[in-house]
Amino acid sequence: MQRANKYISAFSALLVLFLASSAFVLSFEALKDLAKDAGVAEQMAWLYPAIIDGAIIIFSLSVLRANLNRENVLYPWVLVSLFTVLSVALNIIHAEQDFLARFLAAIPPVALFLSFELLTSQLKAVAVRLRAIQSLTEIDKEIQEKQIELSNVIVGRTAELDGIVHERKALLEKLDTEIKQLEDKMSNLKEEARQKNKVVKNTLSTNIVKNGRSEHGRTVKKPDALQQLLTFLSNSPNASLSEMATVIGRSKSTAGAYVAELEAHNMLRKDSEGWQVVEGYQKDSRVD
């Protein structure tokens, strides 16, 4: 379809050019004869039709140029119209004095005007199409360049983002490993602290008991210890030897010996309700 359109346009342009050339020749001869009849020398007479009909061609080309460049076409069109009317008038004056001859004389300049305008219109259409094709080609080329540039930018950004993601991933893995190690260390430290705390508590308890007993042994004398024992048993008749030993700061065996000594001196006795302090040896009494 495009090739057929191309052939048709070329053939039509050739026919229009032939028509314009024929009209130019006919009008040229008529105007040349008219110039000779008016007294112009034969060797110079051809210049008048060349000026008049040539001006039509030149001004028509000026109209084409103005259209292609999107300029004002009023002035070229006025010139084309004036010289076309002038050529028609001179061709009619040259013809014989009857209607048919004058009508035939007016046809060549009109045909020259119309055919050349048709030719310029075709040339204008071709020029516009070529300019559109060129613009489309330039736009397509620019689009391809932009696509290539955009692709390069995308590839670069993608590579950069991949590098950042890989770096962040490695950093996160490293942090996860360090966090896990810290958690393990914290768990071990907690366990060590718990064990040490337990040992310290046991050591403190043992030391407190030992220090308490030692302190009691150094500060509390036997009479005072016996008196403390009597006072304690008067309030706690069912106390065990361990409790007695703790109160007086002595060993369990010493506490048992003290109880036996108090029983031997009839200061303490045991019945169904527990240990009873003999009346007259209450907690305020002193044991020698």
Length, in residues, of the chain:
288
Instruction: Determine the Cα–Cα distance for residues 117 and 6; give it in Å rounded to an integer.
Output: 20
3-class state of residue 288 by DSSP:
coil
- pLDDT by residue for the chain (288 residues), tens digit each? 667 777 777 777 787 778 778 777 878 888 888 888 888 887 888 888 888 888 888 888 888 888 888 888 888 889 888 988 988 888 888 777 788 878 887 888 888 778 777 777 777 777 777 778 888 888 888 888 888 888 888 888 888 888 888 888 888 888 888 898 888 888 888 888 788 777 656 654 454 444 445 444 445 688 888 888 888 888 888 888 888 888 888 888 898 898 888 888 888 888 887 888 876 655 444 445
3-class state of residue 91 by DSSP:
helix
282 Cβ contact partners less than 8 Å away, ≥ 6 residues apart: 230, 234
Tokens of 32: 């040349």
3-class state of residue 98 by DSSP:
coil
Q: How many CA atoms lie within 13 A of 249 on its CB side?
A: 19
The pTM assigned to this predicted structure is: 0.41
Instruction: Determine the Cα–Cα distance for residues 199 and 207; give it in Å rounded to an integer.
Output: 12
